[in-house]
């Protein structure tokens, strides 16, 4: 138990080691983790959202969209990072590439499924009201797809935070993983302190995204889709049983 008490003392000191002022602080590494998470998520969203939304809108490419998600889930992040190191060397480039490779599939798959599952009668009704394709997409399909779409974003964000930490094992030194991977300098208390911080960060990001999702979901849908919102995997997995 005293290990965990020491860990919280380490957090209380902001990760500074007594007598070693040159060591970077917990704040520094936390901000580094958040920074690379944010960059990776922005790039991944820019790539994956248009593709997933478009495929779902035109109801094509289900094979690609769903299998991409299945393969993406199968990729071990440490393996992706390791392969990246062999080609690109240690550093930001390799880490970003791995993060994007891992973050893109769930966003594409969930955006696709979310839009594809919108009731065709609703789309017909919207068309009957004289809406254009763009209006149907932005006013009918997207709002209805928000729960699944955001589930994909949340899954990706979790992957990214988790992988950012793991990237320390492949030499990237600007995340909280650096402390976790350097027990010789930070001792067990530092390793545990950093682990507690990264766990707290992941939970915080997850809660924030869940709140964002709730805010973006149309009011009329909120109570009804509560079940679906919570399980990003089930609809895809069960649906995939018939598709693949």
Partner 1 sequence: MKLPLAAGGPIIPHFSSSGCERNNQLFCWGWFKQNWAGTLWPALKQHVVLTLIAVVIGFAIAMVLALIAYRYRRAEQPLIWFTSFLYTIPSLALFELLVPVPGLGLSRTTAEVALVAYTLLILFRNILTGLRNVPEEVRDAARGMGMSRRQMLTRVELPLALPAIIAGLRIATVSTIALATIAALIVNQGLGVPILSAMSNSTGPFKTELLAAGALAVLLAIAADGLLVGAQRLMTPWVRARAA
Interface residues with partner 1 (CB under 8 A) are 3-4, 70-71, 73-80, 82-83, 85-87, 89-90, 158, 161-162, 165-166, 168-171, 177, 180, 183-184, 188, 191-192, 194-196, 198-199, 202-203, 206, 230-231, 233-234, 237-238, 240-242, 244
Q: How far is the CB of 129 from partner 1 (least distance, A)?
A: 33
Nearer CB in complex with partner 1: 32/177: 177
17 has which bridge partners?
20
> CA 171, CA 24: separation in Å to the nearest integer?
16
Nearer CB in complex with partner 1: 39/83: 83
Q: How far is the CB of 104 from partner 1 (least distance, A)?
A: 16
Q: How far is the CB of 202 from partner 1 (least distance, A)?
A: 5
Nearer CB in complex with partner 1: 73/214: 73
The CB density around residue 12, as the number of other CB atoms within 10 Å, is 10
| Largest separation between any pair of C-alpha atoms in the chain | 73
> CA 211, CA 127: separation in Å to the nearest integer?
32
What lies within 8 Å, CB to CB, of 243 at 6+ separation is 62, 63, 66
Nearer CB in complex with partner 1: 53/202: 202
The SS3 of residue 20 is strand
In contact, 17 and 191? CB cutoff 8 Å? no
Nearer CB in complex with partner 1: 112/159: 159
Q: How far is the CB of 50 from partner 1 (least distance, A)?
A: 26
Nearer CB in complex with partner 1: 65/192: 192
Q: How far is the CB of 156 from partner 1 (least distance, A)?
A: 13
> CA 178, CA 20: separation in Å to the nearest integer?
17
Q: How far is the CB of 195 from partner 1 (least distance, A)?
A: 4
> CA 178, CA 173: separation in Å to the nearest integer?
5
The SS3 of residue 17 is strand
Angle at 204 between CA 153 and CA 191, to 5 degrees: 110
């Amino acid at each position: 138990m005293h290990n965990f008490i020491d860990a919280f003392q380490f957090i209380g000191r902001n990760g500074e080691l007594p007598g070693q002022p040159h060591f970077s602080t917990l704040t520094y590494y936390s901000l580094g983790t958040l920074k690379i998470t944010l960059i990776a998520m922005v790039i991944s969203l820019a790539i994956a959202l248009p593709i997933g939304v478009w495929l779902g809108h035109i109801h094509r490419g289900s094979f690609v969209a769903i299998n991409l998600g299945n393969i993406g889930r199968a990729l071990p992040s440490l393996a992706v990072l390791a392969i990246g190191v062999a080609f690109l060397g240690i550093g930001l480039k390799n880490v970003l590439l791995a993060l994007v490779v891992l973050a893109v599939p769930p966003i594409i798959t969930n955006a696709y499924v979310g839009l594809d599952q919108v009731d065709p009668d609703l789309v017909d009704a919207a068309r009957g009201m004289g809406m254009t394709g763009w209006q149907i997409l932005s006013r009918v399909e997207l709002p209805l797809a928000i729960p699944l779409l955001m589930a994909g974003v949340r899954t990706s964000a979790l992957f990214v935070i988790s992988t950012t930490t793991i990237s320390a094992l492949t030499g990237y030194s600007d995340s909280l993983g650096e402390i976790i991977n350097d027990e010789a300098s930070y001792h067990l208390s530092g390793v545990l302190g950093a682990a507690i911080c990264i766990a707290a960060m992941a939970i915080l990001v997850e809660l924030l995204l869940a709140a964002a999702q709730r805010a973006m979901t149309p009011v009329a849908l909120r109570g009804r889709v509560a079940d679906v919102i919570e399980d990003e995997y089930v609809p895809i997995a069960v649906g995939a049983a018939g598709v693949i």
